[in-house]
Amino acid sequence: MRIAPRCHDTGRVSRLNSRSAAFTLIELLTVIAIIGILAAIVIPTVGTVREKAQRSVDGNSVREILKAAQIYAGDNQDRLPDPQNIPNTTLNAPQPAWKWPGILAKNNILTDPSFYFCKNDAAFNGTYPQFIIQPTAARNTLHTTFTTTRSPSWEFVGGVKMSDAATTPVIYTRGLTSTGLWNTTSGVYKDTGGFIAFLGGNVSFYSNVQSATSPFFSNNPTSTSQTKPQDIRQAIPFNTSNTAQSARIYGIPPPAGAGGMLGSAGGALATRGP
């Protein structure tokens, strides 16, 4: 004879199954703690990977700008862009520093404004300019979206010739100071370091360029010093007979301030190396 299960026994089994399927408070807290630990490990790693990936993009931008400057030199008596020798009738700009990238765009060599701004740069406002050159028949004026409240992520050396030493620095990440370190205020990557592009085509990232690690060579041809300069102004062409005709470093300070950067809107002159 089959005996039907009693109703109260069925309810008891359901309650037992429900209890066994539920998490206890300790188990929930353990899971939450594990998730928190994993997040603390993974999130900074993802941020670091993204930053390094963007830095690779920035390095490529520097190479392209350097190539464009060398192409420009090929059509201009082997002289790379030099704001000092670009009259306003040829290219008008709010400050001479803007003429360095501007002349490349005017000659249709490098017209993409995004090459001059790094996404990781605190001075970058999140939107790229529309143009470098104002679209007019004369094409002798810079577009306002390129220059207004902007700070290029690079500083440029004007007054360099293709006949200069291959080790001559031409472009570098904004914020390098005379001590060979990048500044926390004006530096694109704060004090982490920056790129330097040399006339010979070498582009490298340096955490610092202090004397022990400096890639610079003195602009003093009579130098007998074994110490390499850490001030980049001592590594760019210096004219001993007429200092005013020496190379200059151009840069636009970010809104937060110059913070020790060597380049200036009007151009900072080279100084005699050791």
Domain boundaries, the chain: 47-269
DSSP character at residue 4:
P
d(C-alpha 224, C-alpha 198), whole Å: 23
DSSP-assigned states of every residue in 108-146: TS---GGGG--TT-TT--S---S-SB--SSS--BB-HHH
Spell out the per-residue pLDDT of the chain, length 274, in tens: 444 545 445 555 454 454 455 668 787 788 888 887 776 776 665 545 677 778 999 999 999 999 999 999 999 999 999 999 999 999 999 999 999 999 999 999 999 999 999 999 999 999 999 999 999 999 999 999 999 999 999 999 999 999 999 999 999 999 999 999 999 999 999 999 999 999 999 999 999 999 889 999 999 988 888 889 999 999 999 999 999 999 999 999 999 899 999 999 999 999 999 9
Tell me if 218 sits within 8 A of 232, measured CB to CB: no
Q: How far apart are CA 199 and CA 144, in angstroms?
A: 30
What are the structure tokens assigned to 269, written together? Answer: 């002159």
Give the Cα separation of 43 and 49 in Å (integer): 10
Q: Locate 214 and state its tokens.
A: 């400096």
Rounded Cα distance, 115 and 177, in Å: 23
